[in-house]
Amino acid sequence: MTGTQRRRAVVTGANSGIGYFTAAELARAGDSVVLACRNEQKAAAAAEEIRAEIPNADVESAKLDLASLDSVREFADSQSGSLDLLINNAGVMMPPRRLETADGFELQFGTNHLGHFALTALLMPRLLEAAEPRVVTVSSLAHRQRRQLDFDDPQEDRSYDPHRAYARSKLANLMFALELDRRARAAGSPLVSNAAHPGFSATGLYGSDDGLGSNPVLRKLAPLGARVVSQSAKAGALPTLYAANNGGPGSYTGPRALMETRGKPGAAKISRVAQNQKLAAELWDMSEELTGVTFTFN
């Protein structure tokens, strides 16, 4: 951010957890923030909570279901004027049963990656109206668990494992952020794309109906375990905020302490497969084909 210039920002999944604290701190700094969330009531309540805490906070809520490409298009169409900052934060984590998006995609890959891929492409005209546009995509330490992407089975029809699928979606998030930066720079665009991860942070994903919380036993135990061994969601938002304010093009930010699980933000480790530009280009082409969107940088 240049000086004290006010920005207009969109934060996905901002009704709780890391997204909420990211949106709140952006509003505290004077940015105008759209809380783009699947649940409109929770989004509106979160916006009210931010206004109650931060006098004169400029926040609004909007409907965005990343598991539906129709919803993504409707949200993008509803936005007007320049957009300085897009934070691709929302996600689902490790549903123990097989779930699909409205478009038939595996839920985690469809929501965490494809939904954000389409959203970024459709908001690109708004971003390119800004003087210093920036996109931050939230990945995870879990991205290191995947050594390859299987383009022959994008929906994991042959075998589905929730942990493997989550790691794949987070690897795709990071590869997308890095490839978006490469393509923007090649096109001579002012767009900055980078990524961040929250380390091990206690968020609502552990109790979500679309994640571990869909199992009644894990719904009770996972949040308790997360509180014991993890940092707060507010602390987990710090890498995203750093990336939004100070992160360089193509950078990856995460907590610095205890193998990147907690602490102050700094440079994070990018796995070898995430740096594979040929694989990233294949992922990009497949994502365009599956979502029906294309990117323009002018």
Helix (H) or strand (E) holding 125: helix 116-127
β-bridge partners, 61: 35
Known catalytic residue at 160: no
Q: With pLDDT > 90 as the criterion, what percentage of the chain qualifies? A: 76
Q: In this predicted structure, what is the pLDDT of residue 2?
A: 45
Q: Report whether pLDDT(222) > 60.
A: no
Banded model confidence at residue 206, pLDDT cuts 50, 70, 90: very low
Contacts for 182 with CB less than 8 Å, ≥ 6 apart: 250, 277, 280
List the one residue out of 166, 202, 14, 173 whose CA is nearest residue 90. Answer: 14
From the DSSP assignment, how many helices (H) and strands (E) are in the chain?
Answer: 10, 8
**Residue 174 in contact with residue 168, Cβ under 8 Å?**
no
Look up residue 125 and give its two tokens.
């005209």
Q: In this predicted structure, what is the pLDDT of residue 31?
A: 98
**Residue 90 in contact with residue 110, Cβ under 8 Å?**
no
pTM score, whole prediction: 0.90
Banded model confidence at residue 220, pLDDT cuts 50, 70, 90: low
Place of tokens 């109906």: 209
Cα separation, 78 vs 174, in Å, equals 27
Strand 59-63 and strand 32-37: pairing?
parallel
Q: Which of 20, 160, 166, 242 is catalytic?
A: 166
Look up residue 167 and give its two tokens.
């790691």
Q: In this predicted structure, what is the pLDDT of residue 145?
A: 84
Domains annotated on the chain, with CATH: 8-291 (3.40.50.720)
List the one residue out of 107, 73, 114 whose CA is nearest residue 92. Answer: 107
Banded model confidence at residue 261, pLDDT cuts 50, 70, 90: confident
Cα separation, 88 vs 195, in Å, equals 9
Q: Report whether pLDDT(286) > 60.
A: yes
Q: In this predicted structure, what is the pLDDT of residue 144?
A: 85
